[in-house]
Structure 1
Amino acid sequence: MQYKDEVEAVHALQTAYKQIRAEVAKVVVGQDDVVKSVLIAIFSNGHCLLVGVPGLAKTLLVQTVASVLDLGFNRIQFTPDLMPSDIIGSEILGEDRQFKFVKGPVFSNIILADEINRTPPKTQAALLEAMQEKAVTAAGLTHALPKPFFVLATQNPIEQEGTYPLPEAQLDRFMFNIQLGYPSLEEELHIVRNTTSQRQVSLSKVMGMEQIQYFQSLIREVPVTDHVLQYAVKLASKTRPQTELATEAVNKYISWGAGPRASQFLVLGAKTHAVLSGKYAPDIEDVQAVAEAILRHRIVRNYRAEAEGLSVEKIIRGLF
């Protein structure tokens, strides 16, 4: 695909984004902010953690996005007896008496890690290298994963019996922690009407692998002014207690703040948010638009914040 200049390429991405939103809306009713966040993560080359109670179309959303973007899709149902080899694959002895590597379901473009906190840490850790390095290592050999590669994981925030909280190292690899809420009454009426009839939906393919990779490169080339870059880095720094930029509220209520990966994602997310909103460079409002989803799972509240019922989101908004 050839564009005359970056301006034309940005227009093409904005047009494609509107088409993707329209196609997804044929299947997923409401959840507009969630759909936007997932697409921002994809064009930023990041991963998403979707947190919501059962029945909010988390799985349906991921399947629909994969279909509209014409990407390979695999779903992995995380259970307590799942082993790392069930995700990345394993070495088997072939008929020729030679060992060969059989690829697991992680070898696809979009991976739905369903109920990721239902499997023990040993199996959760099998995704660490895949999410960061876009590769897996087995029997001393490194195998590259298909490009583009995204992990979209789901988690149920209510039922915690028999679950294993994700370690901080793995949480930090997710660009966004997206909270899904209940639909409005009007949206729920629409959902029930559509899903209790014989309604058939035909989805159009809007984009392919090569286009996605091109637009990911385009996002990297979007310019960022120094004051926006400094704002993003300072915003992440403010979350770290007992440091130079930490606010009084952070020192009082936070035991652990966001690391440098948060600063990187704030800038990348702001770039993508700006382009998808029709701008050619991000401003401070774009950083703030993505900040909550990027920072909420990187900040650990202390006992005082929990006792006073102070949410992470309120602390983050206080930093703006």
Structure 2
Amino acid sequence: APFLVLATQNPIEQEGTYRLPEAQLDRFLFKINVEYPNLEEEINILGREQQLENKSKMETVNTFLSAEKIVSFQKLITQVLIEEHLLKYIAQIIVSTRSNPFLYLGASPRASISVLKASKAFAAMAGRDFVTPEDIKKAAIPVLHHRVIVTPEREMEGVTSKDVIKQIIESTEIPR
């Protein structure tokens, strides 16, 4: 059976919340920020909660994907092709994080592997059996922004890791 971990993280500004060490952060494939719901979404949440009040919460949990289906998706993703020049493109993006003056900590080799895997997954979700530069660009921010650390000076100026990664992507030429 596949081993998957999904986790939540409270904002660092909240009391009693501490940053995870870099080595632990590097083991999560993605970091996705979930914003507050808008008014309509909030009302929808309340309505669903109202419907569930009389039921056991466990009665309402349904299997979304079986372990077998997850394994078959993982195998499918390994069959997605990527050309050599796009492997170089991923490597250039990762290496650029290590020498960027706005970053205190760049991305690790594990990050480049994660960008590769996520790019293949995005290609498969788009119905393709090959990776495009757009798949790599789409994967880069959610895969990298929690793995790199902005220098304290730049952080005080309001620069975020997402800003730096976007700049790196924009300035990295796609090899031919």
TM-score of the two chains, using structure 2 as the length reference: 0.84
Give the distance between the partners of 1:183 and 1:161, measured in 2 at CA. 23
**Residue 191 in 1 paired to residue 45 in 2?**
yes
What's the counterpart of residue 127 of structure 2? 278
Give the distance between the partners of 2:91 and 2:161, measured in 1 at CA. 19
Give the distance between the partners of 1:178 and 1:208, measured in 2 at CA. 23
Shift of 1:289: 1.1
What's the counterpart of residue 295 of structure 1? 144
What's the counterpart of residue 230 of structure 1? 88
Give the distance between the partners of 1:154 and 1:238, measured in 2 at CA. 29
What's the counterpart of residue 75 of structure 2? 217
What's the counterpart of residue 174 of structure 2? none
Q: Secondary structure at the match of 1:177?
A: coil
Q: Secondary structure at the match of 2:97?
A: coil
Shift of 1:194: 2.2
How far does the alpha carbon of each residue in 1:64-115 deviate from its partner, in whole angstroms, 9 at most, with x for none? xxxxxxxxxxxxxxxxxxxxxxxxxxxxxxxxxxxxxxxxxxxxxxxxxxxx
Q: Quick check: which has more Rg, 1 or 2?
A: 1
Shift of 1:162: 2.9
What's the counterpart of residue 182 of structure 1? 36
**Structure 1 segments (4+ residues) deviating >6 Å:** none
Give the distance between the partners of 2:146 and 2:69, measured in 1 at CA. 30
Sequence identity percentage: 39
Amino acid at match of 1:272: A
Shift of 1:240: 0.7
Q: Secondary structure at the match of 1:255?
A: strand
Shift of 1:193: 2.3
Give the distance between the partners of 1:257 and 1:158, measured in 2 at CA. 20
1:3-152 matches, cutoff 5 A:
147-152=1-6
Higher normalized helix content (fraction of residues): 2
What's the counterpart of residue 119 of structure 1? none
How far does the alpha carbon of each residue in 1:190-248 deviate from its partner, in whole angstroms, 9 at most, with x for none? 2222223458786654532223212212211211112221111111111112xxxxxxx
Amino acid at match of 1:226: E
Give the distance between the partners of 1:168 and 1:206, measured in 2 at CA. 31
Q: Which runs of 5+ in 1 are unaligned?
A: 1-146, 242-249
Superposed CA RMSD in Å reads: 2.1
Give the distance between the partners of 2:12 and 2:105, measured in 1 at CA. 24
Q: Which runs of 5+ in 2 are unaligned?
A: 170-176
1:317 to 143, 147, 166: 166
Q: Secondary structure at the match of 2:8?
A: strand
Give the distance between the partners of 2:143 and 2:153, measured in 1 at CA. 23
Figure out how many residues of one structure are paired with residues of the other and give that number. 165
**1:163–1:198 distance in 2 versus 1, CA, 3 Å:** closer
**1:170–1:198 distance in 2 versus 1, CA, 3 Å:** closer
Give the distance between the partners of 1:163 and 1:190, measured in 2 at CA. 29
**1:208–1:182 distance in 2 versus 1, CA, 3 Å:** same
Shift of 1:152: 1.2
Q: Secondary structure at the match of 1:273?
A: helix
**1:180–1:215 distance in 2 versus 1, CA, 3 Å:** same
**1:222–1:300 distance in 2 versus 1, CA, 3 Å:** same
Amino acid at match of 2:5: V
